[in-house]
A = this chain, B = another copy of it.
Amino acid sequence: MDAFMDPGSVAVIGVSRNTGEGSFNVIENMMDFGFKGAIYPVNPLAEDIMGLKTYKDVKDIGKDIDVAIIASPRETVPRITRDCAELGIKGAIIVPQGFADADAEGKALQEQLTQIARDKGIRILGPNTLGIVNAFSGFTSSFMPLLREKVPVGVICQSGIFFVGSSIFTGMMGKGIDIANGCDVDFADALEYFGRDDDIKVIFMHVEGMKQGKNFFEVAQRVARKKPIIALKTARTQRGAQAAQSHSGSMVGKHEVFEAAFRQAGIISAQDPEEVLDYTKAFLNLPLMQGNRVGLVTFTGAGGIILIDTLDENGLEMARLSPGTIKKIKDLSPDWMPIDNPLDIWPALMKHGMAHVYELALTGLLKDPAVDAAICIAIAPTLPKNQHLDITGVIKKTAASHNEKPVVSWLYGPNQQFISQGLEEGGHVVAFPTLSRAARTLAALYRRAQFLRQPPGSP
């Protein structure tokens, strides 16, 4: 895997002469991305691509090459890969579709590739892959333009959409490996690599299906003790599994089997791409949740009720607050107001001001030994008359000075995206657009704390 992630020299075989918008030119992307190694284009019809001397054949290059990116028509791929292996090239990234994802001929071609990897020792990534991205070293083989952000997240996927999405949509891919059809390099290889890579703190895996389940789970069990692994398993239903067969040529096991195996290996299972982003942000920024008791600061009773439903559904519960925590808010509220958790501060803040009461309530929760995490319901206003309701500053400051428990926030209001960014700056709070996403994410922090407390290898 090391050669793939940080090559000193690459040959790009079957690269187009077209550049610019819509050309999907690998070499152009590679240069834009900041790759500093040697690039050798191979195209029998061109002399020069992106200002680089272009070769008719990979055999004509005559230099040491670490990695070959092969983008030629599918029927030429086995021959070229064999040539690469015989030239001593360590890894081949095979971009085109039309292998196990297509017809019988494609499946046969892919089997040839697997055989070449076994016989000749060359490692093969793909086919049907965008390949590698490494924002730390500056290498990418993607034909889609990507953003280079050195975030400590390693992405392993079976589809370009998660590769491109994790880079330019969520900004959550510092390094990525697109397993795709997986004729040779597989999940276990990629996971092993990210497991020992100190640049990577959190691993996200998109899995349609996998062949060598057993070996993978042995690796996963080891790596999950070192860093969180978040998995999104698609092809969950029988019909989804049939479709996966023709997408990445994956053999797909029963979903329940995967879920159980994930749980046992300490892998955190996400249900959709939004959850992946939520969990990633939480594991990067927040401490784990050591117990399952949640405290809520709210100025809406209805919000409190929605949260109680959601906690129940996620194995968490409302903390029973210590009397001292309750008293602080009770003293500022009308006599008739029942103060408990959720801490409803609306009557108190009507009288004593938003910032003062909010800080008192959140500090109370975070200092209370009966509370393992705090959720803050907060407003994201746009109307000028409601700006005084924005309490980003108070939440951030309070969370930063009590950083042993996770603090998350549900932002309610039209200005959610902007206020979220402000709230998340500094890395002490993660903001969510719904209470159920906030609760599910806390549950993931709690499950990981439980997993790490179990002795290794326990069921």
Contacts and interface: CB of A to CB of B under 8 A. Distances in A.
Chain B CB within 10 A, most for which of A74, A171, A236, A435: A236
Contacts of A21: 385, 387-388
A145 B318 CA distance: 32
Chain B CB within 10 A, most for which of A74, A159, A306, A311: A306
Interface string A339-363: 0001000110010011000000000
B235 A305 contact: yes
B208 A243 contact: no
A111 to B, nearest CB: 15
A239 interface: yes
A162 interface: yes
Interface in A113-134: none
A317 to B, nearest CB: 8
A97 interface: yes
A81 interface: no
Interface stretch (A1-9, A99-107, A256-264, A392-400): A99-107
Contact of A74 (B74, B208, B336): B336
A247 B150 CA distance: 47
Chain B CB within 10 A, most for which of A247, A309, A337: A309
Given A102-B336, A301-B248, A318 B239 contact: yes
A317 B101 CA distance: 22
A34 interface: no
Given A350-B24, A385-B145, A305 B169 contact: no
A165 interface: yes
A336 B306 CA distance: 51
B244 A305 contact: yes
A313 interface: yes
A4 B144 CA distance: 58
Contacts of A387: 21
Interface stretch (A61-69, A192-200, A367-375, A410-418): A410-418
Contacts of A414: 168-171
Contact of A336 (B98, B147, B383, B412): B98
A303 interface: yes
A158 interface: yes
Contacts of A160: 300, 302
A427 interface: no
Given A161-B302, A383-B145, A412-B165, A240 B308 contact: yes
A403 to B, nearest CB: 29
Interface residues of A, number: 81
Given A145-B383, A168-B383, A272-B436, A301 B236 contact: no
A353 B106 CA distance: 25
Contacts of A386: 144-145, 168
Contacts of A74: 336
A304 interface: yes
A48 interface: no
A300 B336 contact: no
A386 B311 CA distance: 41
15 contacts: A97-B347, A106-B336, A144-B386, A145-B385, A157-B302, A159-B300, A208-B305, A234-B305, A237-B312, A239-B309, A239-B317, A240-B312, A246-B301, A272-B306, A417-B417
Contacts of A305: 208, 234-235, 240, 243-244, 247
Which 4 A-B pairs give the minimum distances between C-beta atoms? A159-B302, A247-B301, A161-B300, A240-B309
A334 interface: yes
A274 B337 contact: no
Contact of A162 (B165, B302, B353, B435): B302
A102 B240 contact: no
Chain B CB within 10 A, most for which of A169, A383, A412: A169
A394 to B, nearest CB: 15
